[in-house]
């Protein structure tokens, strides 16, 4: 089992939903989030959130799914970003789940 995590700006809600449906991810959750970025941080999400005191309205998607579906979603996110250049590309991550309660 994997945890698929996707972040996007709110304007990409339908695009991400379509990606998850196309990858056959059966269940996922979406939450609103506000992104912050300090000027002194320099890490992988550089340029994702506004710098300083500015905020970005974003969405946080996650799903516990099998590896094949997570990989398919990741590939579809990469394809979307290549075909749809944006200052705010969709970000996707796959995190292994070591144990669960079911």
Distances (CA, A) of 68 to 25, 74, 76: 10, 10, 12
What's phi and psi for 21, nearest 5 deg?
Answer: -65, -45
Domain layout of the chain by residue ranges: 1-35+56-86
Q: Topology of domain 1-35+56-86, per CATH?
A: Alpha-Beta Plaits (3.30.70)
Tens-place pLDDT, residues 63-94: 999 999 999 999 999 999 999 999 899 999 99
The model's pLDDT over 53-65, given as tens digits with 9 standing for 90+, comes to 556 789 999 999 9
Q: Which residue has better confidence, 102 or 55?
A: 102
> pLDDT by residue (tens digit) across 13-55?
999 999 999 999 999 999 998 776 666 555 545 555 444 455 6
What element of type H or E holds 32?
strand 29-35
pTM of the full structure: 0.81
């Amino acid at each position: 089992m994997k945890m698929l995590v996707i972040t996007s700006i709110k304007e990409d809600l339908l695009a991400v939903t379509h990606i998850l449906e196309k990858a056959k991810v059966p269940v996922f959750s979406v939450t609103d989030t506000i992104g912050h970025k300090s000027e002194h941080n320099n890490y992988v999400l550089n340029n994702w959130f506004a710098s300083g005191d500015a905020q970005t309205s974003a969405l946080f998607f996650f799903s516990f799914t099998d590896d094949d579906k997570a990989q398919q979603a990741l590939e579809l996110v990469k394809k979307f970003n290549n075909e749809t250049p944006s200052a705010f590309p969709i970000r996707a991550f796959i995190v292994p789940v070591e144990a669960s309660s079911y």
